[in-house]
Amino acid sequence: MTRSLVATGKAGWLRIRRGAAMDVAVCLVMCCIVTGCAGSGEGGASDAEMETGPVLAAESFLADIAQNVAGNRLTIQTLLPLGADPHGFEPTPGDVRKVAEAAVLIVNGAGFEAYLDDLLAGAGGDRMLVEASAGLKPRSGPGERDPHFWLDPVNVKTYVENIRRALATFDPEGADEYASNAATYTLELDQLDAWVKGQIQTIVPERRLLITNHDSFSYYADRYGLRVVGTVLPGASTGVAPSAQQMTRLITDIKEAGAPAIFLESGANSQLAQQIARDTGAIIVTGLYTHSTSDPDGRAPTYLDMIRYNTIAIVGALR
């Protein structure tokens, strides 16, 4: 069975799931205790990892956030390969084995990992499932929720707190270290938030307009005073192509707003964007990081680097 810990306030929620069938919610006044001893804090696998299995994060940006909370005490592994699109991800037998061996699985939640139920059913076994976005209220679009909370660094402070509580439950003797690491990283998020605000302020208000590949930057736009004019692909997923009517409407909206640029994430197909650019005169900016960090030698090897890189690209195109 998979134990899902979602920490909100002083209480947590434990969902006991047997395969994909049973889902029983039990409210806990205190966090549940998962057996495990502390490691030395000097790096490498802790006793908790060696006795119960590794800590696994679904996406690379989540793994980086969690690693900042874990510090040297735990090593956070990543399920999806770098550059993978979680919206269309199909787990391999190797991925199922990774989850089967994991003691803790950290996911974004809010429906982002559409493959999750089938993956957990295939993996079987017993692990803690942590929804990093628990407690955040998702925006609603046509027929779907927007799960891209992490593109707003202030939302990531909630991720940090949920992950801290989960790791302290998994490895109670490391709780003080996790709390200290979380506080340090939260300060870095506050500093990043202030920096992004300052950068966006250099764009004249009438040019603070976004057109993106899909609806992934709405939380970022809300935080920093940008307006999303439209998206090339309708909705918060990359799996649905626009109709001819939707394309025509988007072109009209871009022309009316005077939006100067179309922003595509790394790995996105640019064919539709090129057609829109020809019809509107907007430039195309490629290579933004939404679902994945880059490789260690790339432009955005950490979550903080993702936001910095995206902001520099956006400001450079709109200013």
pLDDT digits (tens, 9 = 90+) for 99-127: 999 999 999 999 999 999 999 999 999 99
Burial of 314 (0-12, 13-18, 19+ CB in 10 A): buried
The pLDDT value recorded for residue 19 is: 36
CATH of domain 201-318: 3.40.50.1980
- CA atoms lying within 13 Å on the CB side of residue 269: 10
CATH of domain 2-194: 3.40.50.1980
Question: Distance between CA atoms of 155 and 58, rounded to whole angstroms?
Answer: 18
Report DSSP state, residue 88: G
Is residue 284 a contact partner of residue 272, using CB atoms and an 8 Å limit? no
Mean pLDDT of the 31-48 span: 43
Is residue 154 a contact partner of residue 193, using CB atoms and an 8 Å limit? yes
Question: Distance between CA atoms of 285 and 296, rounded to whole angstroms?
Answer: 22
Residue 40's pLDDT band (boundaries 50, 70, 90)? Answer: very low
Do 201-318 and 2-194 have the same topology in CATH? yes
Question: Distance between CA atoms of 263 and 284, rounded to whole angstroms?
Answer: 6
37 has pLDDT over 90 = no
Ordered by start, the domain boundaries in the chain are: 2-194, 201-318
Residue 267's pLDDT band (boundaries 50, 70, 90)? Answer: confident
Is residue 20 a contact partner of residue 117, using CB atoms and an 8 Å limit? yes
Nearest residue to 219 (alpha-carbon basis) of 284, 164, 295, 157: 157
Tens of pLDDT, residues 71-107: 999 999 999 999 888 888 999 999 999 999 999 999 9
Mean pLDDT of the 237-262 span: 90
Tens of pLDDT, residues 274-302: 999 999 999 999 999 999 999 999 999 99
Share of the chain above pLDDT 70, in %: 81
3 has pLDDT over 80 = no
Burial of 126 (0-12, 13-18, 19+ CB in 10 A): exposed
231 has pLDDT over 70 = yes
The pLDDT value recorded for residue 26 is: 27
Mean pLDDT of the 57-66 span: 99
SS3 content of the chain, % helix, strand, coil (to 5): 45, 20, 35
